[in-house]
A and B are shown apart, each in its own frame.
Chain A
């Protein structure tokens, strides 16, 4: 069977401006594969991002996009999804964008279990602003903004945070394995509810610690080791393996998935009238509305 949409269909004529070797190329690639596999109509996909090297991603795809301000991509995406629940809304950005300035929106979006897919290109550094510490930088890491003692704060654990906030699909991928990443992304898009894919995506220019090498030595596929993604408690235990408790084994794969939780869309009373963007404007029963004021 010939595919209606080839991989090429999803590429835009804008060429990525990332440094050669940047982990974000793999994420772009994985996303294109996932879209192709799912055969999503490009015009029904909306990619929303914030600001950062990683947040440039929507520019390189031929779907609809919204390149928002720093840290607010999730909120913009929520508004778009609520206005038109038929769209496939995917949020992409960096760890600074999502786990730093935007962490509040991130947590609340997960609580809502809105049907969004969020891919965070986690390079444990601020790339675009030339190498300051990020909320996921390791303790002790020396950066432009932590030149003396290194980072003296604990890193955020995105997986544990997502599990405790109510995300219903939580996964970690690595730019060194595009195949696994595209599978995790595709399943995340398919999942009915909030899905997080924390994508370990090395910054080859500013992060000299968390390199491809670093990850290759430590990553393993947790699903192959028999982890049950239906078990929330087991997922928490796996989440704690890295980065907070120990630094030497990094689980990749699907930590948790729950398809039984109702999504926000299932519960929103306004949708009884249908998709908001398709509603005719104007009010038919003005007298009824005005009654309470008489």
Chain B
């Protein structure tokens, strides 16, 4: 928290190359050994609009995209108008002097205004000036004193294989930007130390895809929907080489039903979507619960309801996944807090799904799913546990008892193709051998009993599932005046806020967080809550969906709450301010 760091913001219209500029810049930071965290704000338009990305890079671990930048690149006037007041003293604003004018009265004292004719400079390299944003990028690289070889290697990686001439053009463009900075007084001399030990940089969605691959996913079906689409993109590009069948299907109904078919056939299968797509999957997910078919469903939340805010973040779909499907069926809901956990919990979800033969939902969100963050090297040696299966070739009298009553609620599976174990998986209520009790038998006294027993068998899985799912964690000082309660991607900004208020304001705060949302760890949660004083529940939705679950499961009501539903992620500053407000 004490070392100087990079907080870089670039903005323009969609089509100006904002996201590629930011991505390249993030890569240059991670290659120079910094910890990186990005956040992109964009709209659902292909051209126009106001798009900006913030890249934070620090020699120390970072927990959020930070607050105000020290370098701003404006590719259009709107960016200047919106952001010029944010820049820290000692920072700089790089802008296209042909298109953009700053209002010096709104810019803090000590901020350098670096107008350069981006278009004209770019035209000295290529007539269509397509490298305009790279000139600005080069300027930022020089302002922060990032080693120029990272610029070359980043471009080499992006275009090197296919178009070496593009690499060369972009390197020259970046040089022009850097030279312009040198002529205008040189770097900012922020003194950011660069460890020069490259770090892995990826999005939460990519980490989910990698976790699935490590766990042996062999079937992935998806229908595109922001912000989950990049899971499909990564899988489609890389899955087949590892034997994964990756399908963009006609709709989410198909995705879910196909994944159930694949799971029934014996492979590890997955779907990914956002809330609107999950609504369609809801029709079928109970079918996986009823037929006891393993399945992993990833829900990357965006602002709702309905199609809502396609490009904005929210934590508003907890009620949806908690209540998905008619009737009761055992489900597991996991919520990764950070990128590493996207990998870990996805891999774990496959084991839980197969061991308990039921769907496991991974609840992520746009902030986590689309943001680039650095992680330590991922360990692909994840444990793979496939659960109970029937042996090949054994003789069975009559039909195989696929749904045999067991204490754990888990009965051995048999995969189609296994000799002697033929059975019918039924989404109607059925007996131990899969035979229906729904039509002619329902209501007869012994089948009333049978239905009760079968239903209880399935629901018993929740006991084991709860034990095997990660418990709540209390993070931070043992004797805090206030305990934050939160889940999912709020983790980063919440932890950073805590570090700040402890260091700067001497306020002791800790944090209670829940990688498992269901089945709820009620006993464990109550035990922790007994030891805390006041609590502040922080959630990215209007009604406090998690707080309600907490109350339902434990009877506990948080002392304060801080909801957010404007589409923006929590910043650490907001949380810190709220903490100071409630402890005052």
Residue of B nearest to A78 (CB): B258
The answer to the question of B422 belonging to the interface, with a C-beta cut-off of 8 Å to chain A, is: yes
Which residues of A from 1 to 59 have beta carbons under 8 Å from B? 12-14, 17, 41-44, 46-48, 51, 56, 58-59
The residues in A between 68 and 88 inclusive whose CB is less than 8 angstroms from any CB of B are 68-69, 72, 75-84, 86-87
Are B267 and A283 in contact (CB-based, < 8 A)? Answer: no
Q: Which residue of A lies closest to B255 (CB)?
A: A75
B218 interface residue per 8 A CB criterion:
yes
Contact B257 A66 (CB under 8 A): no
Q: B384 on the interface (CB 8 Å rule)?
A: yes
* Distance in angstroms between the alpha carbons of A58 and B436 in the assembled complex: 11
A51, A63, A86, A289 pick with most chain B CB within 10 angstroms: A289
Query: Which residues of the partner chain B approach A270 to less than 8 Å between Cβ atoms?
Result: 218, 239-240, 243-246
B417 and A44 within 8 A (CB): yes
B49 interfacial by beta-carbon distance below 8 Å = no
A69 in contact with B427 given A59-B436, A83-B261, A270-B240 (CB within 8 Å): yes
- Mark contacts of B401-429 with chain A using CB atoms, 8 A cut-off: 1 yes-contact digit, 0 otherwise: 00000000000000111111111111110
Determine which of B202, B241, B261, B268 lies in contact with A79 in the assembled complex, contact meaning CB atoms within 8 Å: B261
Among the 9-residue stretches B64-72, B134-142, B186-194, B209-217, the one with 4 or more Cβ atoms under 8 Å from chain A is: B209-217
Shortest Cβ gap from B31 to chain A (Å): 8
Chain A: CB-nearest residue to B213: A283
A277 interfacial contact with B, CB 8 Å: yes
Contact residues in A for B131 (Cβ distance below 8 Å):
none
CB-based contact B218/A290 at 8 Å: no
- Residues of B with C-beta under 8 A to A282: 214, 216, 380-381, 384
Most chain B CB atoms below 10 A, which of A76, A78, A290: A76
Complex interface: chain B residues within 8 A of A269 (CB): 240-241
A200 CB to nearest chain B CB (Å):
24
Tell me if B424 and A64 are in contact (CB < 8 A). yes
Does B253 sit at the interface, judged by CB under 8 A?
yes
Given contacts A83-B245, A283-B380, contact A277 B267 (CB under 8 A): yes
Q: Are B269 and A79 in contact (CB under 8 A)?
A: yes
Q: Are A79's CB and B265's CB within 8 A? A: yes
- Asked if A98 is at the interface (CB within 8 A of a chain B CB), the reply is no
Q: Complex: how many Å from CA A271 to CA B267? A: 14
A172 on the B face (CB < 8 A)? no
Q: How far is the CB of A168 from chain B (nearest CB, A)?
A: 19
Inter-chain contacts of B284 with A (CB < 8 A): 69, 72
Task: Looking at the assembled complex, report how far the CB atom of B381 sits from the nearest CB atom of chain A, in whole angstroms.
Answer: 8
Any chain B CB within 8 A of the CB of A276?
yes
Say whether B264 contacts A75, CB under 8 Å: no
Contacts of B261 in A (CB 8 A): 48, 66, 75-83
Among B201, B215, B244, B262, chain A packs the most CB atoms within 10 A around the CB of B262
Residue of B251, B418, B428 most packed against chain A (CB within 10 A) = B428
Report whether A75 and B267 are in contact in the complex, using a CB–CB cutoff of 8 Å. Answer: no
Decide if A281 is an interface residue (CB 8 Å cutoff).
yes
Size band of the interface chain B makes with A: 35 or more
**Contact flag A83-B424 (CB < 8 Å), given A43-B418, A272-B240:** no
The answer to whether A72 and B420 have CB atoms under 8 Å apart is no
Known: A43-B422, A66-B424, A69-B427. A277 touches B440 (CB 8 A): no
- Judged by a CB distance under 8 angstroms, whether A62 is at the interface is yes
Tell me the A104-163 residues at the B interface (CB within 8 Å).
104-105, 108
Q: Residue A83 contacts which of B202, B253, B267 (CB distance < 8 angstroms)?
A: B267
In the bound complex, residues from chain B placing their C-beta under 8 Å from that of A43 are 416-422
Instruction: Collect the chain B residues with CB atoms within 8 Å of residue A79's CB.
Output: 219, 221, 257-265, 269
Chain B residues near A104: list those with CB within 8 A: 250-251, 253-254
Which of B210, B242, B243, B417 is within 8 Å of A87, CB to CB?
A: B417
Q: Determine the chain A residues whose CB is within 8 A of the CB of B448 once the complex forms.
A: none
Q: Are A276 and B243 in contact (CB under 8 A)?
A: yes
Judging by beta carbons under 8 Å apart, are A17 and B399 in contact? Answer: no
Residue pair B425, A75 in contact (C-beta under 8 Å): no
Complex Cα–Cα for A58 and B416 (A) = 14
Cα–Cα distance between A67 and B31 once the two chains are bound (Å): 53
- Docked-complex contact A14 and B265, CB < 8 angstroms: no
Give the interface centre of A105, A281, A293 by most chain B CB atoms within 10 Å. Answer: A293
Report A245-283 CB contacts with B as 1/0, cut-off 8 Å: 000000000000000000000001111111011010111
Contact residue among B249, B378, B425 (Cβ-Cβ distance under 8 Å from A290): B378
- CB-nearest residue of chain B to A72: B257
Tell me the residues in window 261-297 of chain B with beta carbons closer than 8 Å to chain A beta carbons.
261-269, 283-284, 287, 291
Q: Is B238 an interface residue (CB 8 A)?
A: yes
Q: Which residues of A contact B257 (CB under 8 A)?
A: 68-69, 72, 75-76, 79, 105
> Which B residues touch A281, using CB under 8 A?
215-216, 268, 384, 386
B168 at interface by CB-CB < 8 Å: no
Which chain A positions have C-beta within 8 A of B101? none
Q: Are B377 and A290 in contact (CB under 8 A)?
A: yes
A109 → chain B closest CB, angstroms: 9
Interface string of B452-467 (1 = CB under 8 A from A): 0000000000000000
Smallest Cβ distance from A139 to chain B, in angstroms? 29
Q: Which residues of A contact B244 (CB under 8 A)?
A: 270, 276
B439 to A273, Cβ gap below 8 A? Answer: no
Q: With a 10 A CB-CB cut-off, give which of B157, B215, B424 has the most chain A CB atoms.
A: B424
A82–B201 Cα distance when bound, in Å, is 33
- Closest beta carbon of chain B to A189's beta carbon, Å: 16
Q: A43-B416, A87-B265 are in contact. Are A76 and B260 (CB under 8 A)?
A: yes
Bound Cα distance from A289 to B210, whole angstroms:
9
Neighbouring A residues of B398 by C-beta, 8 Å: 13
User: Of B206, B216, B419, which contacts A293 at CB under 8 A?
Assistant: B206
A94 proximal to B (CB < 8 A):
no
Task: With CB as the reference atom, state the residue of chain A lying closest to B210.
Answer: A289
B378's partner among A81, A273, A286 (CB-CB below 8 A) is A286
Question: In the assembly, what is the distance between CA of A76 and CA of B264, in Å?
Answer: 9
Alpha-carbon gap, A200 to B418, bound state (A): 33
**Looking at the complex, which one of A59, A292, A294 makes contact with B198 (CB distance below 8 Å)?**
A294
Asked whether any CB of chain A lies closer than 8 Å to the CB of B200, the reply is: yes
**Set of chain B residues within 8 Å of A105, measured between Cβ atoms:** 250, 253-254, 257
Does B417 lie within 8 Å of A289, measured CB to CB? no
Residues of B within 8 A of A277 (CB): 218, 265-267, 415, 417
User: A63–B267 Cα gap in the complex (Å)?
Assistant: 19
Across the A-B interface, the 7 shortest Cβ-Cβ residue pairs: A79-B261, A281-B216, A65-B424, A79-B258, A273-B243, A75-B257, A286-B380
- List the interface of chain B (C-beta within 8 A of A): 31, 157, 198-202, 206, 210, 213-216, 218-219, 221, 238-247, 249-251, 253-254, 257-269, 283-284, 287, 291, 377-381, 384, 386, 398-399, 415-428, 434-436, 439-440
25 contacts between A and B (CB under 8 A): A65-B422, A65-B423, A65-B424, A66-B424, A67-B436, A68-B260, A69-B287, A76-B258, A76-B261, A80-B416, A83-B265, A84-B417, A87-B265, A87-B417, A105-B253, A269-B240, A270-B246, A273-B242, A277-B267, A286-B380, A289-B238, A290-B378, A293-B206, A294-B199, A294-B200
Given contacts A72-B254, A281-B215, 9 further A-B contacts (CB under 8 A): A43-B421, A46-B416, A69-B287, A87-B417, A105-B253, A268-B245, A277-B267, A277-B417, A289-B213
